[in-house]
Chains A and B, each alone.
Chain A
Amino acid sequence: MKHESLNKYKDSFTHYTELRVQENRNNRVQLTNGDVTGNVATTESGVSARVFKDGNWGFSSNPNITDDSIVSVVKASTENVQFMNTKDSSRCGYFLPETKANYDIDLGTKKDRQNQKYWVDFIREVDAYIENKFPELLSRNLVLGGLDMEKSLYTSDGSESYSMTPRALFAMALSIEKDGAPVSIMNPWGGLGHLEDKIFQPSDYFSDIDALVEKLKQKADGVHANAGMKDVILDADLAGILAHEAIGHTTEADLVLGGSVAGDFLNQEVASPLITLIDYANTYDGETCPVPVYVDDEGTKSEDVTIIKDGVLKRFMHNKDSARHFETEPTGNARAFEFSDEPLIRMRNTAFVPGTSSLDDMIASIDDGYYLVKTGNGQADSTSEFMFAITMGYEIKNGKIGRAIKDTTISGIAFDVLKTVDMISSDMSWSSAGMCGKKQLIPVGMGGPAIKCKVNIGGR
């Protein structure tokens, strides 16, 4: 994408306007049982404008990025808001909070980019290792790919930003047959950066693969969890999804306005005093987060949002419109996925702050429960009832790890579950392999330490 300032189009603005040029680039190589079943690259780019006037919004987008198309997109979005205003003028006089931020960042690799053949050969070498060492596997499905999101923004408040944020992903799903039925396991690697910065030698993954196959075999011999309310330890690798699904979504201000139960709990104790939950904008403990956001797609400087502090619900995540409603400051959470998408309130890097316990002590403290280590999909609710899939876990019996369990799901009312937290480990694990869905997809980061709590577990 050509990186150039958009401020030359400001004369076409007549109301509050955000103008964004964006390009998303995806590439993917997929190998299924040794055969290339995916070898794809996509590029989508275009321009969009969003205009606010008297409580209404107009939006328009076009894939062509020329002087004429950019001006026409601004004109079309202005006409759209005027159409809305002719239908409803009841919110006449609403104004958005003004924000102004300027920031340019390019997180792309400084190395030479490899071609698709390089990555096909890479993934085939990893696959050959698995095939040779574990011929007993039923299937091997490997995916290697990346997503680049490149954005230029200019707003009528004077904000101007450019960002190039790449994400690399290497994932594999392996299966084995047990009693005539397949049992599978999946693992992702990667994170912020291009493949060239995140994925190096095939042999770097061999020990992880050995451990993954061992877990798969344990799971194939696993037992159904005993359904019901149980003491569990959520490993650091999956505490992040609790942060994201259980609390994060309920504290997005648009969902609060939509009726989320969190709206009733501001400044109240909603969790154990051990719990502090933060949506980090871009930096944790001096390190760049998996999905860093410096200026959001409304031109607001992104800041950390401390959602829960020592068990007390302190703040929601905002865009400009929700900040106007709540008479507070926008937090820089407005993000759009594609050029043709309008910014929505989205999490960035949502994580529990680590505690002081050790994982061993946490396991030793449970007589009859589960240690849950891998997760799949998840979903939140306005009531704060959450669920997420468990794709690897173990029984805990008398303070010791026992048999592996089959795939299951856990659920609970988040604000009840968090009150049951009595131990938090000192670890911190970040992940960013997943996409969050809320009208649009968006990459998110999530993290946390291991957490001991009570949840409802599915099973038999």
Chain B
Amino acid sequence: MNQKETVSYCLDALKKAGAEKAVCSLTNSEKKELNVEFGEMSLFRTTFDTSMGMSVIVDQKKGATSINKTDKDSIDTAVKLVMDMARGSQPDDAYDIAENQSPQTFSKGDESANQDKMYQSLEEFVDYVKSTYPQIQIEAATMDFNHSKSFFQNTNGVDFEVREGMYGFSPMFLSKDGKNTSSFNYTGVSALEIDKPLYKYGTIDSLLKQSVEQLQTQNIPEKFVGQILVTPDCLGDFLGFITGDISDGKMITGNSIYKNKLNKQITHPKLTFHSHPVSNEIADGYFVTSDGYIAENSTIVKNGILKTHLLGIYGANKLEKNRAVNDGGATIVEAGDNPHSDIIKNIEKGLLLARFSGGNPSSNGDISGVAKNSYYIENGEIKYPISETMISGNIQEMFNNIGEISSDRIDFGYCIFPWISFKGVTIS
């Protein structure tokens, strides 16, 4: 059986076993991955994997399983297991599967990687770091190419095929000079093709430069309440609270602080952001949602007003709200008016927050954590890199106290983020 026939066989077997509604997906993937360890090219990995997922609804009871085999015996065993699991569960009217949509095939990216070119790009990066920033030690760096071919079918007639090829690069590094050691820092980017030196992607070169500066840190002069200017590398930690809070988990439990805020102001009017999984602006988006709908772009917050929750089929049915047109992610934050260098000039006392090492936010949005790889700002100037400094605040309040959003933004391949300043944060 080919892949599509395998999925059809599985779906048919689930129906024969008594499933009233069923979903089956199959992904075959191949990854080539080059690794740098301690500044040396050290490991080359090629991995193949298979993921066959199936979920069923019977008597409005649901079960799900996944295996990484596609032989008939393994599928038949998994079909029996998932049917037993569903029958042993509890009914819930909110369970459902995606409605019928026209069969479609989606594709993007290369079919295969040129491993010589991958090696050359990574080697050039290592050489660039050694020659430009001799104090930097690359703890680890990974460059990979993932190619996957997926099939998704359900008993309502959904029939999608997706082929994707994507490059990824993620370096982790620190600086060391004698007994001085900087905090490690890291970043990551995705791209459909490698068409420039790796250090030119995202914020990589500026983070390398900052790492050397961070060999010499100072403590802040005193505990104070001030502004933090959150960098694009760090912004996802804060936006993630909003998107997590409007998704199924928090919404269904009732713990979301935005559960009754649709079409209401939840942030400062300066903030607008979108989830654009099928935009040409985002290299590493997706075509099909986890529930089996064709993904569409959406605006999550427009001028501070919440425009959609991020509910899947179950969450939408459970809460009698609308299903989101995508799974979130692929986030694009709209640019502000001034470059981040000008925003710094308007900060009387605060931090440039480049990495946040913090506890998971409380349900009410309270956060606290360590300001890593960050700088003290005073009278509109970056003064020095800091250490042993914590920030505390409430994310809900922070987003209502946005100072400015930068006009310059960084494209990481999977999101596009600006710098955003927040007022009223405790810095200690």
Contact = CB atoms under 8 A, between A and B. Distances in A.
Interface string B365-379: 110111010000000
B183 A340 contact: no
A251 interface: no
A43 B67 contact: yes
B44 A81 contact: yes
Interface string B77-107: 0000110111111101010000000000000
Interface in B113-145: 115, 119, 123, 137, 139-140, 142
Given A261-B181, A389-B359, A39 B63 contact: yes
A117 B89 contact: yes
Of listed B68, B140, B392, residue having the most chain A CB within 10 A: B68
A458 interface: yes
Given A80-B45, A258-B137, A408-B359, A115 B84 contact: yes
A259 B81 contact: no
A259 B359 contact: no
A228 B46 contact: no
A62 B48 contact: yes
B358 A409 contact: yes
A56 interface: yes
A80 B49 contact: no
Interface in B349-366: 357-360, 362-366
Given A175-B253, A181-B257, A182-B257, A84 B44 contact: yes
Interface stretch (B35-43, B150-158, B198-206, B328-336): B35-43
A227 to B, nearest CB: 4
B285 to A, nearest CB: 24
A224 B365 CA distance: 13
A411 B370 CA distance: 7
Contact of B45 (A60, A116, A391): A60
A46 B49 contact: yes
A456 B46 contact: no
Contacts of B392: 224, 227, 408-409, 458-460
Interface residues of B, number: 76
Interface stretch (A354-362, A374-382, A395-403): A374-382
A369 B81 CA distance: 53
Interface stretch (A30-38, A269-277, A284-292, A425-433): A30-38
Of listed A255, A408, A456, residue having the most chain B CB within 10 A: A408
A388 interface: yes
A188 interface: no
A36 B86 CA distance: 11
B64 A46 contact: no
A115 B428 CA distance: 52
Nearest to B225: A460
B9 to A, nearest CB: 18
A381 B357 contact: yes
Nearest to A60: B46
B290 interface: no
A259 B176 contact: yes
Given A138-B254, A258-B139, A182 B364 contact: yes
Nearest to B86: A39
Nearest to B66: A42
A40 interface: yes
Nearest to B170: A439
A243 interface: no
Given A35-B90, A383-B387, A385-B183, A63 B68 contact: yes
A183 B361 CA distance: 11
Nearest to B87: A117
Contact of B49 (A84, A88, A340): A340
B370 A139 contact: no
A41 B252 CA distance: 22
A227 B38 contact: no
A390 interface: yes
A45 interface: yes
B252 A32 contact: yes
Given A44-B68, A63-B69, A382-B139, A124 B390 contact: no
Contacts of A254: 37-38
B147 to A, nearest CB: 15
Contacts of A62: 47-48
B253 A456 contact: no
Nearest to A412: B388
Contact of B64 (A39, A342, A388): A39
B28 to A, nearest CB: 9
A120 interface: yes
Given A44-B68, A139-B255, A141-B253, A183 B363 contact: yes
Given A259-B139, A259-B181, A381-B183, A83 B85 contact: no
Contacts of A45: 68-69
Contacts of B364: 181-183
A458 B427 CA distance: 9
Interface bracket on A: 35 or more
A58 B360 contact: no
Given A37-B314, A61-B48, A387 B257 contact: no
Interface string B248-262: 000011110100000
Contacts of A57: 42-44
A20 to B, nearest CB: 13
A390 B358 CA distance: 10
Contacts of A182: 254-255, 257, 363-364
A69 to B, nearest CB: 9
A155 B169 CA distance: 31
B43 A63 contact: no
Contact of A120 (B43, B48, B89): B89
B89 A39 contact: yes
Given A42-B67, A389-B359, A459-B368, A32 B253 contact: yes
Contacts of B314: 37
A48 B47 CA distance: 9
A227 B223 contact: yes
B41 A84 contact: yes
A117 B83 CA distance: 11
Given A390-B359, A458-B428, A80 B139 contact: no
Of listed A55, A387, A457, residue having the most chain B CB within 10 A: A387
Contact of B426 (A43, A91, A227): A227
B387 A458 contact: no
Contacts of A36: 61-62, 89-90, 92
B255 A138 contact: yes
Interface in A187-240: 224, 227-228
Contact of B85 (A39, A87, A377, A459): A39
Contacts of A59: 43-47
B179 interface: yes
21 contacts: A33-B254, A58-B43, A58-B44, A60-B46, A61-B47, A64-B69, A84-B41, A87-B123, A91-B40, A181-B364, A181-B365, A182-B254, A183-B362, A227-B392, A228-B428, A254-B37, A383-B181, A387-B369, A389-B359, A407-B362, A409-B392
Given A59-B45, A406-B362, 13 more contacts: A32-B253, A36-B89, A37-B314, A56-B42, A57-B44, A88-B40, A227-B368, A227-B390, A383-B182, A383-B387, A387-B358, A389-B358, A411-B357
Lowest 4 CB-CB distances: which A-B pairs, in order? A389-B359, A117-B88, A458-B368, A258-B139
Interface of A: 32-33, 35-37, 39-46, 48, 55-64, 76, 80-81, 83-84, 87-88, 91, 115-118, 120, 124, 138-139, 141, 175, 181-184, 224, 227-228, 254-255, 257-261, 264, 340, 342, 376-377, 379, 381-383, 385, 387-391, 406-409, 411-413, 439, 456-460
